């Protein structure tokens, strides 16, 4: 099986989910499913289809999309099974850090003037 996500790879998501993530939830089939959901969510929330425009975007825009998508997908990986982490608090702290970073990236992508700049870059 190969990565089917557009914005981020399974390896990038695995790194963000951490060493204690469940082997099941970080498997490529699961991450591919998470990425499909995350990419659709990003497109809908920002009201722009970044997936269709991806090939023409510059590296900075792709980096923001990669960050947001991998953060959100890693949250799914962590929440699937928190039993491997040293404590539930560790897993929740990781989720909070990933969520905060994803929200910052989404705020950038949602701004119309930023979108105009990024699409034209």
Per residue of the chain (121 residues), what is the pLDDT tens digit?
Answer: 688 899 999 999 999 999 999 999 999 999 999 999 999 999 999 999 999 999 998 898 899 999 999 999 999 999 999 999 999 999 999 999 999 999 999 999 988 666 676 666 6
In a domain, 3, yes or no: no
In a domain, 90, yes or no: yes
Nearest-angstrom CA–CA distance, 118 and 112: 10
In a domain, 20, yes or no: yes
In a domain, 116, yes or no: yes
Q: Tell me the residue range of the domain where 53 lies.
A: 10-120
In a domain, 5, yes or no: no
Q: Tell the burial category of 89 from Cβ atoms under 10 Å away from its Cβ (0-12, 13-18, 19+).
A: exposed
Record the pTM. Answer: 0.90
CB count in 10 Å sphere of residue 33? 15
Which pLDDT score is estimated for 1?
A: 66
In a domain, 111, yes or no: yes
Alpha helix positions (H), 1-121: 10-17, 28-46, 50-53, 59-80, 88-110, 112-120
Nearest-angstrom CA–CA distance, 66 and 60: 10
Nearest-angstrom CA–CA distance, 79 and 111: 29
Domain count, the chain: 1
In a domain, 2, yes or no: no
In a domain, 1, yes or no: no
């Amino acid at each position: 099986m190969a990565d089917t996500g557009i914005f981020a790879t399974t390896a990038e998501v695995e790194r963000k989910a951490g060493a204690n993530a469940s082997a099941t939830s970080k498997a490529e089939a699961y991450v591919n499913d998470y990425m499909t959901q995350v990419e659709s969510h990003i497109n809908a929330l920002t009201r722009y289809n970044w997936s269709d425009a991806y090939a023409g975007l510059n590296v900075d825009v792709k980096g923001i999309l990669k960050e947001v998508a991998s953060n959100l997908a890693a949250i799914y990986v962590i929440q699937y099974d928190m039993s491997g982490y040293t404590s539930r608090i560790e897993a929740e702290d990781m989720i909070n850090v990933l969520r905060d970073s994803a929200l910052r990236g989404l705020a950038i992508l949602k701004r119309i003037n930023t979108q105009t700049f990024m699409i034209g870059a």
